[in-house]
Amino acid sequence: MNFLIKSITISTLLVSNSYAEMETKSNAMRLLRDDKKAKASKSKGYEIWAPDQSNSVVGEGTLGNKGSYLWIWDSKDMVDVHSEPTPLSCTPIKAQGPCDIFDIFPLALDEYDADGVKTGQTLQDLNGFGRFHGALKDPSNNRYINVNMFTPKGGYVGVMDTTTKEAIGLFRVAATSGTNSERSVHMSFWAVDGSAIIIANLHGKMVERIDVTRNSDGEITDLSFNRSASVYLGKDFSLKAEPTYFLGHNAFGRPLIGSIVGSYDDADTGDLTPALACKEVGCTDANAVATEGGERTNNVPVCPIPSMNSNVYVTMGGGGLLVLKSTETPMQIVGEYGDAIVNGAGCAGTQSQNQVFLNAGVSASGAGSDQSTFTLYTLDDTLYSGPSTMQNYPPAQQVFKDPTNTNTNGNVDGVADQNPSGQIPQYTTRRDSHGAVNTIDGKYVHVADRIKNVVEVFDTETYEHVSTYDLVSMDGQSGRSGPSGACRIKSVTDDAGLVLNDPAPDLMDITPDGKYIVMGFRGPAPVTVGHAAQGSCPGVGIVEVTKGGKSGKLVNVLRASNVTPDSVGITVTGGHDYIGKERSDVHQVTVISKK
């Protein structure tokens, strides 16, 4: 997607319901998009950054447990299907990539507590620094990315400078009573103006915030983990461990920055929403009223999608949606939805003018193995002003819901409770909406299906479904009956039982010139959501945008590969129990413009 919202910052415009002011804002956005396209035409090119969830440490007994790789390619190498371009280095001592995350964040970094005192432990002493799940760019100036390490019980989030490819900060989020695993960073997102990083502490059931301070040139000068800004999404809050941060020198010999401020005493750790409903089903507050439009059964935050009006749309694993005002401290709940209104497990969002688009897919847990979900919603971003006593307002509009969706994660419109057809491409009828991005002019949104290897395209003004294109054929229209596309050429071939030409598309971004969409393609040993994400050509899919943004076709795959030895037996629910050596598993892609 641009998993991040389109980076259009209009700080001088005030949200208004008057037609004149909204029309002025729309015109300003169109002018900024035109300016963006003009600048793209003069671009010096760009880089493609792809986090790889697989281990970089030898001998691990679990996938995505320790270490990871970062693949970076130059845009000049992206479309030649017959070449294997050399990935770029992230350190001064290595000539080429991929970049080991332990080279970027050295093991000797010291951990500090909230009082600025060393804990006596280094990064080497701690567990859970693995499973590089996503790296999203700072939309304010394209200079920084966040680093999201998703190993359960780990909870690490970092920041890198894209110009030098060096680490500048690293934090470990709080551990809570939310789940048995206590903490993890699924994804974090930059505020659209770059003033903060909003963190989904998934296993902690909490949304947290790092405040970002910059100088007049946009350079980050401080990163402050603000405990007072946090919002707990579960029930019966209990703090198991405070957040920490790391200091020391990066691979370039320069010091990391960071601090911890505020207090959880000032955070929103209560059980109730502003409408006095339970944030999560089962709270025991005597003042709680009934949740309308379904319930919120498991509030593990999946993706906190930021908007141009400083709202954050927090999708949740069990269904339902909470909208936060990110500029308040603590962040305020300004919108709340039951799981029958916004179904669960969405992990994609994008904004076109005033409309935020969010998807819903299958659950990442084992419960998702017989689920099928492809749904897209839209909400008006201008209608959230502050805490409200109304539930399910402003209304969420359903753009698309596949009639074959199972009755899971809050859906009540399906014809079946289960779909046991697995994920083998030739046999499955399941769907999994995961990943979305706007075209460069904002007219269309492309939404990927991780199981069926197709992309659905919708008009962002009329909400019309305008086309479907596939990722397995050369022309994007012929499916498996036509000539095979780039994934077949780049597929893993060390296990005869593995189905080839199976991209398993995940999170995505669009290039600055709008010509290509880049997608994370999953591997034969999927680290996460194994029941819906086994693929055969791990790396980055290069999709050429066609028909004025209404369609596309896969033209290349930048192949990632990791054969680091381990002791893992690969069992894939609904797929193929892979016996080969490939472990690469790219989950997300970010495009970084060169300065």
User: Residue 17: its pLDDT value, please?
Assistant: 36
Secondary structure of residue 305 in the 3-state scheme: strand
The answer to whether the beta carbons of residues 423 and 578 sit under 8 Å apart is no
Give pLDDT tens digits for 24-46. 344 444 444 444 444 444 558 99
**Residues 398/357, Cβ–Cβ less than 8 Å:** no
Q: Are the CB atoms for 78 and 88 separated by under 8 Å?
A: no
Measure the CA–CA gap between 538 and 524, rounded to whole angstroms. Answer: 8
**Inter-residue long-range contacts of 58-62, CB under 8 Å, 24+ positions, other chains counted:** 58/564, 58/565, 58/566, 59/565, 59/566, 59/567, 60/566, 60/567, 60/568, 61/566, 61/567, 61/568, 62/568
- The pLDDT value recorded for residue 43 is 58
Give bridge partners of residue 158 from the DSSP assignment. 147, 170
| Positions of the chain with pLDDT under 70 | 1-43
> Which residue from 112, 142, 132, 162 is spatially nearest to 69, judged by alpha carbons?
132
- Are 541 and 559 within 8 A, CB to CB? no
CA–CA separation, 300 and 533 (whole Å):
20
pLDDT tens sequence across 493-551: 999 999 999 999 999 999 999 999 999 999 999 999 999 999 999 999 999 999 999 99
* Alpha-carbon span 333 to 545, nearest angstrom: 37
Residue 31 burial (10 A CB sphere; 0-12, 13-18, 19+)? exposed
Dig out the tokens for 501 from the structure.
């030409």
Read off the tokens for 348. 């994609």
Look-up: residue for tokens 């551990």? 175
Q: Which domains does the chain have, with CATH numbers?
A: 19-593 (2.130.10.10)
Residue 360 sits at the vertex; the CA angle it makes with 474 and 582, to the nearest 5 degrees, is 50
Q: ∠332-333-339 over CA atoms, to 5°? A: 160
